[in-house]
Amino acid sequence: MCDANGFRFTAHDAAGKQAAIMGDAVNHAAGLKLRAKLPRPAYVRLLRHGEEVVRFESTAELEYAPKEPGAYRLEAWLTLDGELRRWLFANPIDVW
């Protein structure tokens, strides 16, 4: 469908330093941000325990400050032949 090379889903502390990658756990603290970079714009959903917390119709970058602990996972979909198709389903970052 489309190469996912360059895809990143990470957590960063208040100083902007990377604190976690997919599959990791990180403490919930002031200034914590979840960030995603995609190789191309897509329809993106960020989920917490399977429930959508934020959605973007077309973006290649995302930044979100988690309001509460949970397992955060990102989904990206591409429009092909006039319909949305699954593209990327990231492993979660657990925010404790």
**Position 86 pLDDT exceeds 70:** yes
Question: Tell me, what's the pLDDT at 96?
Answer: 96
Number of structural domains the chain divides into: 1
The answer to whether residue 3 sits within a structural domain is: no
Assign 15 to helix, strand or coil: coil
Domain that holds residue 35: 8-95
The answer to whether residue 82 sits within a structural domain is: yes
**Position 1 pLDDT exceeds 70:** no
Question: Per residue in 40-67, pLDDT tens?
Answer: 999 999 999 999 999 999 999 999 999 9
Question: Per residue in 21-42, pLDDT tens?
Answer: 999 999 999 999 999 999 999 9
Query: Rounded distance, CA 68 to CA 81, Å?
Result: 38
pLDDT, averaged across the chain: 96
Which CATH number does the domain housing residue 80 bear? Answer: 2.60.40
The answer to whether residue 26 sits within a structural domain is: yes
The answer to whether residue 55 sits within a structural domain is: yes
CB burial of 14-42 (b: ≥16 within 10 Å; e: otherwise) equals eeeeebbebeeebeeeeebbbebebeeeb
Sign of CA dihedral 43, 70, 13, 11: negative
The answer to whether residue 23 sits within a structural domain is: yes
The answer to whether residue 62 sits within a structural domain is: yes
